[in-house]
Amino acid sequence: MPSQFRKYSIPSILAVGLAAFALSACGSSSDDSSSELAKFAPADSPVYVEGAVQPSGDVAANIDAISDKIAGVNIGDLIKTQIESDGDVDFDADVKPWLGESAGIFAQFDPSSLTDSVGGDSLSSLTADVSDDGTMNADDEQSFGLVVQTTDTDAAQAFIDKQSESEGGAKDGEYEGFSYKVAADDGSTVGIVDDNLVVGSTEDEFKAAVDASKGDNLADTDTFSDLSGHAADGALATVYTANDPYLDALKESGFDLGGLYSALGIDLEGSGTVISLVPEPNEIAVKGYSSASSDLESGDPSSVIETFPANSIFAAGSGDVGTNASKVIDALNKEGIPGVLKPGDVDKFINEASGQIDVKGIVESLDTVAFFVNGVSEPTIGGALVATSSDIEPIESSLKGISSLIALADDASVRPLGGGITGFQVRTDELPGRPVVIGVKDDRLVIAIGMRAARTALTGSGQTLADSEAYKAADESIPGEGLDMFADPANIARLVTNASAGDPDGKQVADMIRKFQYIAAGSGDGDQTFEFNLGLQE
């Protein structure tokens, strides 16, 4: 259970509701979640999560398959055991008779607390309200409401009564015709509302859920209506977030980025994001959609990523970098950032640097920027950043200026590259035996650690990710244009094994990592969708 919820807990009730959002397959009901639960969330809720408490059909079968492959256990049975661990709850007798199909939870907090980082006391503001045991202190304003569907309200009420008595008693209350109980130790509140078990972290949150169900609620907002239509089919749980509460908080803090967003063609008002956790037979997928619009491009970097070494541990990139970066520079010059950057400051910096480096020419010429990390042990770790360019001349002509600047460092030794490659290598005491290489060949600029990584990145020769079965499977798992990110669990496991030789904990970690075939992320074809997948070994 998240640490910030502990101080509010009626343990067994929250275990039933919150733990069931994990991989629970204890029952056999429909795997369709009910958006009716969203009517219990206040309209201004920054975060709302809805999921299947008792999934069935393909969802339940996929959960069972995943949990068996990863842990060799049935997750539903594991959660059931956890719920019963304190000895006060018999799941089959106390919970199963009333537990419905779905549950929802809304979080309430002041989004302006997330803007404290704008000020100089950001670190203290992030840590001031955390106690020694890692939980949030009582004066923290985070709170939540939990709604669980029931199939038998009498059985659910009997469960509430039994647990309240076993946990030291509770104060009885009534609101809008609904009775409830307030825990004596922490003020958490629970009652039956319209055939649902409703838990509030405080009495006020319970009442807020009741008020929402009768009037102004999340389900009736345009943002939620749009996002809910993009929730993924077969989802176990879905998270909804709205942007307006955060935009309002930024404005109230004096950090209004509206002008910058407008200059970039970004429209966040009335928008949000929906993210769905979807279990597949051999994959755990996180599928998302954002309703925010933008003039920034979404290029496909996969044509560069697939040329990286086949033994890459991790690779990622972005396309249309020059187009997007130029738009950002123009917008920053026009609008600036309140309290951080004045209008025109970026151009001022670029002009100051242009004596030796053609900054604007380099930025405008960039197509794709991507990087990789490879190696199977600490001494062999290497990698490179690769930028492809529509016009390599500004980059090539700036290399001399860049090398001159680097040579000013006392501990840096700069030498030109041979073999017909334009560029240089830098050796420092911090990287003995592995120089930093900056070179240009054809349409590529490469900044690499180690000559081997540099040559591979410059030429794309030898065994590449395009030859890797793990990469091929990852690429097939992502709809749309192609991969933006790839990680190879097998190579990660080799690195962990070599780095922790003789350590049984390290071996356990490596063995767990080897259960996965790939880690991949990508976006759709301009439809504002994105996906993150963990593929399992078959």
Reduce the DSSP state of residue 73 to 3 states and report it.
coil
116 pLDDT higher than 60: no
φ, ψ at 97 (rounded to 5°): -60, -20
- The CA-based angle 475-481-486, given to 5 degrees, is 35
Segment holding 50, helix H or strand E? strand 47-52
Tell me the residue ranges of DSSP E strands in 395-443.
413-416, 422-427, 436-441
442 pLDDT higher than 70: yes
- The CA-based angle 382-383-384, given to 5 degrees, is 145
List the structure tokens of 51.
């999921």
Predicted local distance difference test score (pLDDT) of residue 355? 65
Q: Give residue-wise pLDDT tens across range 253-307.
A: 777 788 888 888 888 888 999 999 999 989 999 999 999 888 887 788 999 999 9
Mean per-residue pLDDT of the chain: 80
CA-wise closest residue to 280 among 535, 3, 2? 535
User: In whole angstroms, what is the distance from residue 538 CA to residue 515 CA?
Assistant: 9
Place of tokens 């769905």: 276
Residue 344 or residue 185, greater confidence: 344
140 pLDDT higher than 90: no
238 pLDDT higher than 90: yes
Instruction: With beta carbons less than 8 A apart as the criterion, state whether 525 and 480 touch.
Output: yes
User: In which region does residue 460 sit, left (phi positive, over 0), alpha (psi from -120 to 50) or beta (all else)?
Assistant: left
φ, ψ at 170 (rounded to 5°): -155, 160
Q: Give residue-wise pLDDT tens across range 46-59.
A: 899 998 887 778 88
For residue 408, count other CB atoms closer than 10 A to its CB.
8
Cα 183 to chain centroid distance, Å, stands at: 34
Instruction: With beta carbons less than 8 A apart as the criterion, state whether 310 and 464 touch.
Output: yes
List the structure tokens of 144.
């939540």
452 pLDDT higher than 90: no
Instruction: With beta carbons less than 8 A apart as the criterion, state whether 498 and 261 touch.
Output: no
Tell me the residue ranges of DSSP E strands in 398-510.
413-416, 422-427, 436-441, 444-449, 482-487
463 pLDDT higher than 80: yes
User: In whole angstroms, what is the distance from residue 38 CA to residue 31 CA?
Assistant: 17
pLDDT (mean) for 441-454: 87
CA-wise closest residue to 190 among 53, 17, 1, 2? 17
**What is the reported pTM?**
0.81
Q: Which of 71-75, 218-222, 416-420 has the highest mean predicted lDDT (pLDDT)?
A: 218-222
Residue 182 or residue 261, greater confidence: 182
Predicted local distance difference test score (pLDDT) of residue 61? 84
Cα Rg of the chain, angstroms:
27
SS3 content of the chain, % helix, strand, coil (to 5): 40, 30, 35
Please report, to the nearest 10 degrees, the dihedral formed by the alpha carbons of residues 278, 280, 285, 287 taken in order.
-50
For residue 228, count other CB atoms closer than 10 A to its CB.
17
The mean-pLDDT minimum among 138-152, 169-183, 380-394 falls in 138-152
Predicted local distance difference test score (pLDDT) of residue 535? 95
Predicted local distance difference test score (pLDDT) of residue 52? 85
Burial class of residue 391 (count of CB atoms within 10 Å of its CB; 0-12, 13-18, 19+): middle
Residue 478 or residue 527, greater confidence: 478
List the structure tokens of 71.
């842990």
Cα 523 to chain centroid distance, Å, stands at: 14
Residue 359 or residue 411, greater confidence: 359
DSSP one-letter code for 338: T
Q: How confident is the model at residue 430 (pLDDT cuts 50, 70, 90)?
A: low
Q: How confident is the model at residue 495 (pLDDT cuts 50, 70, 90)?
A: very high
pLDDT (mean) for 494-505: 88
For residue 354, count other CB atoms closer than 10 A to its CB.
14
Place of tokens 């410059």: 458
Predicted local distance difference test score (pLDDT) of residue 113? 64
List the structure tokens of 488.
């190879």
User: In which region does residue 354 sit, left (phi positive, over 0), alpha (psi from -120 to 50) or beta (all else)?
Assistant: alpha
Q: Give residue-wise pLDDT tens across range 83-99.
A: 666 667 788 888 889 98
DSSP one-letter code for 34: P
Domains of the chain: 3-228 (no CATH), 302-465 (3.40.1000), 468-536 (no CATH)
**What are the C-alpha distances in Å from 450 to residues 346, 428, 436?**
33, 12, 6
Predicted local distance difference test score (pLDDT) of residue 211? 96
Q: What percent of the chain has pLDDT over 90?
A: 35
CA-wise closest residue to 33 among 222, 234, 283? 234
Please report, to the nearest 10 degrees, the dihedral formed by the alpha carbons of residues 524, 318, 273, 49 taken in order.
100
Q: How confident is the model at residue 187 (pLDDT cuts 50, 70, 90)?
A: confident
